[in-house]
């Protein structure tokens, strides 16, 4: 039987299309070898047709769920497909994965219970003819599969938790370094600003001191000029007293506009 497109329910499984129990009884019991994966465990089953054609499938478990994984060309993105356990149908949801033709069927609790206690698994839509496999040892095999899946998934979660903790620590360290760098940059900026203020204040102080020194120098020069003027005035007064005594000297003539000066009239 072939798969119907568009995600429709495959209704091609008929009771008469499935291999009879006599064929399943001739199948050898599965070894139920459990193989760990990255986050789950799986065990491979080979379903055989009357013609001898083999259709491989795998039961996969992460410790919580058990899924039937298979490859079928043209499998729809979603479908509600039946499998038969001891000729009794159990329908479950099939979803296609990202890989071409690879899909998984999530097995319900009822289907798992039937697998544990059943004798023959039969699937009519997996290939061009119905295929079947013995379920001998399925009870212990499924229990071991779930135990392995739980351990592998637990280790995966522990690794992911550790990686997440490492990422968190790395991010926290990076944030701490960034904060420290920002604080250091802020402190350096404050130090630079304070140094600029100090230098500006020192320059202003030096400028004020220089201005004060210049003012003092100008005041001293003015004081010296005043003293010199006083000395000259006393010398002139002494000279006039020497020549005139108590008499007032004659007024000094004003110079002519053409810079001609008349001689002073000294007393004879």
Side-chain-side CA neighbours of residue 51 (13 Å): 7
Residues of the domain holding 135? 15-157
Instruction: Report the pLDDT value the prediction gives residue 142, as an integer from 0 to 100.
Output: 95
Written as one string, the DSSP assignment of 24-38 is HHTSPPP----EE-S
* Separation of alpha carbons 44 and 50, rounded Å: 20
Instruction: Report the pLDDT value the prediction gives residue 162, as an integer from 0 to 100.
Output: 92
Give a yes or no: residue 123 inside a domain.
yes
Q: What is the pLDDT of residues 7-38, one digit of tens each?
A: 333 333 333 333 444 444 443 444 689 999 98
Give a yes or no: residue 23 inside a domain.
yes
Give a yes or no: residue 268 inside a domain.
no
Q: Taking CA 209 as the corner, what is the angle to CA 204 and CA 215, rounded to the nearest 5 degrees?
A: 125
Helix ranges restricted to H, the chain: 21-25, 109-117, 138-244
* Separation of alpha carbons 267 and 262, rounded Å: 15
Q: Is the dihedral of CA 251, 256, 257, 260 positive or negative?
A: negative
- The total domain count for the chain is 1
CA 244 to chain centre: 108
Give a yes or no: residue 130 inside a domain.
yes
For residue 5, give the 3-state DSSP assignment. Answer: coil
Give a yes or no: residue 138 inside a domain.
yes
CATH of the domain at 124: 2.60.40
Give a yes or no: residue 227 inside a domain.
no
**The tokens of 60 are what?**
């996969």
Give a yes or no: residue 37 inside a domain.
yes
Can you list the residues of the chain whose pLDDT is less than 70?
Answer: 1-31, 245-268
């Amino acid at each position: 039987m072939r798969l119907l497109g568009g995600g429709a329910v495959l209704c091609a499984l008929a009771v008469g299309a499935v291999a009879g129990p006599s064929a399943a009884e001739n199948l050898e019991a599965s070894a139920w070898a459990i193989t760990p994966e990255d986050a789950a465990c799986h065990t491979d089953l080979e379903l055989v047709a009357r013609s001898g054609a083999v259709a491989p499938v795998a039961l996969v478990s992460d410790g919580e769920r058990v899924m039937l994984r298979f490859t079928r060309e043209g499998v729809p993105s979603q479908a509600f497909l039946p499998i038969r356990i001891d000729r009794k149908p159990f329908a479950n949801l099939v979803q296609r994965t990202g890989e071409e033709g690879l899909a998984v069927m999530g097995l319900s609790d009822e289907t798992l219970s039937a697998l544990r206690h059943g004798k023959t698994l039969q699937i009519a839509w997996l290939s061009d003819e119905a295929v079947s496999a013995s379920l001998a040892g399925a009870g212990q095999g499924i229990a071991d599969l779930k135990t392995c899946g739980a351990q592998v998934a637990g280790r995966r979660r522990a690794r992911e938790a550790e990686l997440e903790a490492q990422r968190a620590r790395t991010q926290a360290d990076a944030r701490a370094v960034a904060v420290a760098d920002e604080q250091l940059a802020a402190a350096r900026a404050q130090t630079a600003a304070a140094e600029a203020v100090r230098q500006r204040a020192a320059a202003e102080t030096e400028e004020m001191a220089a201005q004060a020194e210049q003012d003092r120098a100008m005041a001293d020069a003015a004081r010296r000029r005043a003293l010199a003027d006083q000395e000259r005035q006393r010398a002139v007064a002494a000279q006039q007293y020497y020549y005139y005594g108590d008499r007032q000297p004659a007024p000094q003539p004003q110079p002519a506009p053409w810079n001609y000066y008349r001689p002073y009239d000294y007393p004879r």
